[in-house]
Structures are given as C-alpha cells and as structure tokens.
C-alpha cells in the first residue's frame, strides 16, 4: 500500500528567514510590553509626595488632549501617504493598524524596527516597501523640525509671562515654520542622511506639501503640553498663563529625546530634560516626580490606543506569505 504524501499548498509555508524574523519580532514586542509595564510600576508613586485634588473635568480634558495628540501623528502619516500617491480610502482601518502596531517599535533604539515594520506591513496594503521606509524617516524629520519650532515657546517659561514676549515668540515660531521646507530639504541633502537613508530620494515633497503636512506635528506637541498641564492642574502647581511655556519645554524635551537615538523611545532622556526645565518653578524632587508621572500618563494613553486599534481594526495580510506565492 502506497503512502501518499500530503502536498502543501503553494505559499502555505514561510521561509526559514521569515520564521526567524517573526520569532525575533515577537520576543522584542514582548520585551517592549514588559519594559513599559516595568516603567509604569516604577512610576506608580511618582506623585505620592504631592497633594492631589482630583478634578474629573481636568482629567477628562487631559485624556482627550492626549488621545487627539497621537491621532495627529497618524493624520500626518496619512497626509504623507496621499502625497506619495499610496492612499486608498477603503483601507483606512488597515492603515490605522499598520501605523499603531509599528509605532510601538520606536522603543527599539534607533527606531530600526519601526522602519522595518512600517515597510513590511505596508507592503501588504499596497505601499511599496521603499516608500514605507522613506515615509517613516520623513515622519521623524518633520517631528524634529516641528518640535524645534514649538520649543521656541519655552522662551516665555524662562523669561516670565509677558504678552508682548509671548506674541513675539509665536511670530518667531510661525516664521520658523515658513522656513521649515528649506530646513527639511537641507536635512535630506546632508551626506550622512542621504547615505544612511537612501529611501528618502523616492519621495518628492513640494514646499506647499511640507507646510501642510507639518501642521499635525505642531498640533501634536501643543496637545501633549496641554494634556500635561491639565493633569498638573490637579496638583495646583501652574496657572493658565504658564501653558505656552509648558508646551515649549515639553516640545524641547521631545526634540532632545529624538536626537538621542540610542535611547529606546527617548526613555530617560526626555524625562531628564523635562525635569531639569521644570525645576525652574518647582522643587527638583517634585520636578523628577512630574517627569516620570508624565511618561506613565502618556504610556497609558498609548497602550489604550494600541489595545483599541488591535481590537477593532482589521489585521493586515501576511506580506511574507504573499511573497512566497
């Protein structure tokens, strides 16, 4: 009696390299969740030394501002997709999942896996891998430049609240944003950037495109600063007049952490830069607690968004399986 071998359907088995990558990615993802959980555990008593007066309206506003801030980042990516002629309205739910799942990988130093996952997952949605990688790099450059413009508002934090000074800072920030396209092109032309990220040459952005796309990134920093301010209102530490300065120093802390590519997701670097600046108005110990508590707050918002996306948005087809068919 012959024993017939079961034939495998074409594309049903993934190559060894793909299986190894998926295993490594799963281990890294588990490590990221574990690291985030550890950071939350360490920061559980960040505000214990302060007297809290919970205001549910302020907390609701802080949560809403934080949620909207991260959606601004996603909106910026969608706008880049449209300008790269890769956007299809019917795949919006798929785009949401691709962006949020890959976004978590920024906790890997250098954002290497974020770029890889954005390109790999995007290919299943019809986004060329080179374009997906280039857009991830462009996102970082736009976030860096927008953060630099918003961080100019920190001048009012150091110089005191003055209406004329604040107006001057706002006008200066607006002027920087107008010059941003030139700065963006200059960055892309640097030999180091061109050698490290050749994918950027596949995306051509006009001055008008950059000025429009940078708006969500500016709003991202302003909304994060507003969310922190509304949370801190429960501690009765800051008045409304200090809000622009808080947005500025928080944006500046982000820029510093973006430049520190060896730090996973800017962990430690952002908190340190933020605490140093906060110490100008509050005791150093309180400033440290606020910086750690802020990371915990925004990490919880990120996890909330991630769980919602994974629960309700469709999963992308396996791009590795498509390549083996």
Cα(124)–Cα(316) distance, integer angstroms: 6
Query: What string of pLDDT tens digits covers the 325 residues of the chain?
Result: 444 444 444 444 566 666 776 677 677 666 655 665 675 566 555 545 555 567 788 889 999 999 999 999 999 999 999 888 888 888 888 899 899 988 887 776 556 778 888 888 888 888 888 788 888 888 888 888 888 888 888 887 877 656 666 666 667 666 766 676 676 677 667 777 677 666 666 666 777 788 888 899 999 999 999 999 998 887 777 888 888 889 999 998 888 877 665 555 555 678 778 888 888 888 767 777 788 888 888 988 998 998 898 888 777 666 555 444 4
Is 48 among the domain residues?
no
Cα(120)–Cα(319) distance, integer angstroms: 7
Tokens of 190: 């640097």
Cα angle 305, 136, 306; round to 5: 10
Cα(164)–Cα(151) distance, integer angstroms: 18
Is 198 among the domain residues?
yes
Place of tokens 């520190």: 260
Would you state the pLDDT for residue 6? 41
Cα(286)–Cα(48) distance, integer angstroms: 10
Is 23 among the domain residues?
no
The CA–CA distances, whole Å, from 237 to 53, 126, 234, 280, 286 equal 11, 49, 8, 12, 10
Cα(2)–Cα(74) distance, integer angstroms: 58
Tokens of 152: 């100019």
Under 8 Å between Cβ of 278 and 291 = yes
Cα angle 100, 105, 110; round to 5: 135
Q: Which domain holds residue 205?
A: 70-315
The pTM of this model reads 0.75
Would you state the pLDDT for residue 12? 47
Is 232 among the domain residues?
yes
Is 222 among the domain residues?
yes
Would you state the pLDDT for residue 56? 84
Cα(162)–Cα(151) distance, integer angstroms: 17
Would you state the pLDDT for residue 65? 96
Is 321 among the domain residues?
no
DSSP code per residue over 150-166: HGGGGHHHHH---HHHH
pLDDT in tens, 197-220: 666 666 667 777 888 888 999 999
Cα(217)–Cα(170) distance, integer angstroms: 16
Would you state the pLDDT for residue 49? 55
Under 8 Å between Cβ of 243 and 169 = no
Total number of domains constituting the chain: 1
Is 46 among the domain residues?
no
Is 63 among the domain residues?
no
């Amino acid at each position: 009696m012959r024993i017939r071998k079961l034939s495998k359907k074409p594309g049903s088995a993934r190559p060894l390299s793909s299986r190894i990558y998926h295993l490594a990615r799963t281990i890294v993802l588990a490590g990221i969740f574990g690291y985030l959980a550890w950071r939350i555990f360490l920061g559980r008593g960040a505000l214990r030394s302060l007297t809290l007066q919970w205001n549910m309206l302020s907390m609701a506003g802080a949560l809403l501002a934080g949620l909207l801030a991260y959606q601004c980042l996603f909106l910026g990516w969608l706008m880049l997709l449209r300008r790269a002629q890769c956007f299809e309205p019917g795949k919006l739910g798929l785009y949401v999942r691709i962006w949020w799942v890959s976004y978590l990988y920024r906790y890997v130093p250098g954002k290497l896996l974020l770029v890889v996952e954005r390109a790999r997952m995007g290919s299943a949605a019809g986004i060329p891998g080179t374009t997906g990688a280039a857009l991830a790099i462009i996102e970082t450059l736009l976030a860096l430049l927008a953060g630099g413009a918003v961080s100019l508002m920190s001048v009012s934090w150091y110089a005191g609240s003055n209406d004329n000074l604040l107006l001057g800072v706002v006008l200066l920030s607006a002027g920087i944003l107008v010059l941003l396209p030139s700065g963006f092109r200059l960055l892309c032309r640097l030999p180091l950037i061109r050698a490290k990220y050749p994918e950027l040459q596949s995306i051509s952005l006009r001055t008008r495109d950059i000025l429009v796309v940078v708006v969500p990134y500016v709003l991202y920093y302003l909304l994060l600063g507003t969310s922190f301010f509304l949370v801190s209102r429960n501690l009765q530490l800051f008045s409304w007049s200090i809000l622009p300065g808080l947005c500025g120093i928080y944006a500046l802390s982000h820029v510093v952490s973006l430049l520190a590519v060896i730090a996973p997701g800017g962990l430690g670097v952002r908190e340190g830069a933020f605490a140093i600046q906060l110490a100008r108005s509050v005791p150093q110990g309180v400033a440290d607690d606020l910086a750690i508590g802020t990371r915990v707050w925004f990490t919880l918002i990120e996890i909330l968004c991630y769980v919602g996306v994974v629960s309700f948005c469709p999963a992308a087809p396996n791009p590795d399986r498509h390549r083996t068919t």
